Amino acid sequence: MPEEKSPRPETPASPPADKKPKPPEKEPFSKAETLAFLQSALPDSFSEAYTFLGQDFLLVNKASLPELAELLKEDPSQDYALLEDITAVDYPQNEKRFELIYILFSLTRQDRLFLKLAVADGETAPSMTGLWESANWAEREIYDMFGIRFDEHPDLKRILLPEDWHGHPLRKEYGLAQQDEEWIARNLELIKPQSHLGVPSNKEIEHLDVSQPKS
Amino acid sequence: MGPQHPATHGVLRLKLVLDGEKVLDCEAVIGYLHRGIEKVVESQDYQQIPPHMDRIDYTAAVSNVLGYVEAVEKLMGVTVPPRAQYLRTLMTELNRLASHLIWLGTHALDIGAMTVFLYAFREREEILKVFEACFGARLTTHAFRIGGLAEDIPPGVLDKVREFTDYFPKRVAEYEQLLTGNRIWMNRTIGVGCISAEDAISFGLTGPSLRGSGVRWDMRRAKPYAAYADMDFEIPIGKNGDTFDRYLVRMEEMRQSNRIIRQALDRLPDGPVRAKVPKVIKPPAGEIYHAIEAPKGVLGYYIVSDGSSKPHRLRVRPPSYFNLAAIKKMIVGSLVADVVAVIGTLDIVLGEIDR
């Protein structure tokens, strides 16, 4: 039964929005007292502070990151007690291609602070495991996916991929369908390498006849 | 223990060091369900990504998509019409109920209470029917689009939801009758898997697992999204941080979710359900972090856009990942039988942990 349809609600006559809304831009750092506090306590610890879409970023210098993080966590005026997440972004064109992002949350201020650290390929980053337990698995995942190593991490090994896997999938040069063919050949029954063919490529695997029982 | 074990809710392997029945050490081995979702979405258009997000935590697909579309909307500066905001709130809370009901049923089943499982799935079925009517799917719903909803919900569904909210609190009372004062249930959960508030914060526990330790932190209140700023609800917390407290917290959360759904039904505004967005979504270059309170805890999306139609990077902060990391702290020193209780109380979904 067709329902009696109410007339289609008209879209409210909104003011003619400009065709192209202005792209968001960097603004001055919004947490003035945090900035003043850090400038007096650790003046050289960061190179830039800005706010983007309401998010407060600090570009941190590597040497002072542990000290800065500890201060933000322990000092009662800041109280960023929770490390919500650590993640990394790969910018292959940059001189220091990886950017680590630490997301801190303060339960008393109910607000976030983002720390950014640029890391070159092969360079290590200081581990936050001494300050937050949550850094343990987060850093392991970054190591697994990007190959960034962390100093003084208690148990830095792969977490999602097998321990003897080669390659770090979230790097930009890692192909979408790329796999560690050798690992697969070693570990998955279906595609045992045949000595005269060597390791079959993925393309060859597609044409393998698996309907016949193996001899 | 594992990777194939009925109590691990997926494929989780725990390496346990035992002395008789006592757990001396524990290491969680994960990754069996790794599908490389964060890599795959880098090759997808923004509009194509929500179905992938459904499959992160497949028991709470609606929440996952909500977090993602809101993050993209924030980056683009899109304002979603109020009706869509309310419908999103309503559906997300229904999804929270569905997810908590799975937790309740399987958690009780793991500990040995068969009956609750059947009761919980009876109510969950009603919620899934609502999803099917609205989105055409029961689990992987692809519920929301960037800018709002795909279309308004079909007529009659809201009455069904109202009917459901009428009897649901009585059903929660029924579950509680079966469990809360039950001698066996209490013996198996009180004092099991304790974690202090400081430890919970340090491990990055979120959601009911954190609130069970007495920390009143809920993203719906801390950083309101969708229509939560208009909703009146309480954030239940526990005291001792044990399995029993987390159980009570989740039971109360179900009642509060029911309240939110009622409010959303009562105040649901009229109007369009989708803002005008371009066919091809190209957010301006920049980055955004947006986190919501998923049923399991804080679910965050970190999206880096380079101005093209595909994200440069999309990071999912899965709550279960961080919650599971605390398992060692919670079970070392207890008995093997308690391991099953602790896995249940953390309410993990391996699809979300491994992505």
A85 touches chain B (CB under 8 A): yes
Question: Looking at the domain assignment, is residue B1 inside a domain?
Answer: no
Q: What is the DSSP letter of B79?
A: P
| CATH number of the domain bearing residue B263 | 1.10.645.10
Q: What type of residue sits at position B335?
A: L
Q: A57 with A128, same domain?
A: yes
For chain A, the domain total comes to 2
Question: Looking at the domain assignment, is residue B86 inside a domain?
Answer: yes
Residue B182 to residue B179: CA distance in whole angstroms: 5
Its ipTM equals 0.85
A9 touches chain B (CB under 8 A): yes
Look at residue A9 and tell me whether its pLDDT is greater than 60. no
The answer to whether A86 touches A71, Cβ cutoff 8 Å, is: no
What is the structure's pLDDT at A184? 79
Q: A38 with A119, same domain?
A: yes
Number of residue pairs across A and B with CB atoms under 8 Å? 102
Q: A110 with A194, same domain?
A: no
Q: A76 with A122, same domain?
A: yes
A59 touches chain B (CB under 8 A): no
A56 touches chain B (CB under 8 A): no
Instruction: List, for residues A175-206, the tens digit of each pLDDT value.
Output: 777 777 778 777 776 655 455 555 555 555 55
Residue B316 to residue B139: CA distance in whole angstroms: 20
**B304: chain A residues, CB-CB within 8 Å:** 89
Q: A51 with A138, same domain?
A: yes
What is the structure's pLDDT at B27? 87
Q: How far is CA B124 from CA B102, B118, B246, in A?
A: 8, 10, 20
| CATH number of the domain bearing residue A127 | 3.30.460.80
Question: Looking at the domain assignment, is residue A22 inside a domain?
Answer: no
For chain B, the domain total comes to 1
Q: A154 with A206, same domain?
A: no
Q: How many other CB atoms are found less than 10 A from the CB of residue B40?
A: 15
What is the structure's pLDDT at A209? 58
What is the structure's pLDDT at B153? 86
Question: Looking at the domain assignment, is residue A2 inside a domain?
Answer: no
B30 touches chain A (CB under 8 A): yes
Instruction: List, for residues B284-313, the tens digit of each pLDDT value.
Output: 888 899 999 999 889 999 999 888 888 999
Question: Looking at the domain assignment, is residue A3 inside a domain?
Answer: no
Mean pLDDT confidence for B74-85: 88
Q: How many other CB atoms are found less than 10 A from the CB of residue A91?
A: 16
Q: A117 with A211, same domain?
A: no
Name the token pair of A115.
Answer: 């720390």
Residue of A26, A53, A136 to mutate, interface with B, max B Cβ within 10 Å: A53
Hey, are the CB atoms on A134 and B36 less than 8 Å from each other?
no
Q: What type of residue sits at position A50?
A: Y
Residue A65 to residue A88: CA distance in whole angstroms: 16
- Cα A35 to chain centroid, rounded: 25
Q: Where in the sequence is the domain holding A204, given as residue range(s)?
A: 179-215
Q: Where in the sequence is the domain holding B141, given as residue range(s)?
A: 6-354
**A112: chain B residues, CB-CB within 8 Å:** 289
User: Cis link prior to A21 (omega < 30° from 0)?
Assistant: no
Question: Looking at the domain assignment, is residue A173 inside a domain?
Answer: no
Instruction: List, for residues B18-29, the tens digit of each pLDDT value.
Output: 888 888 888 888
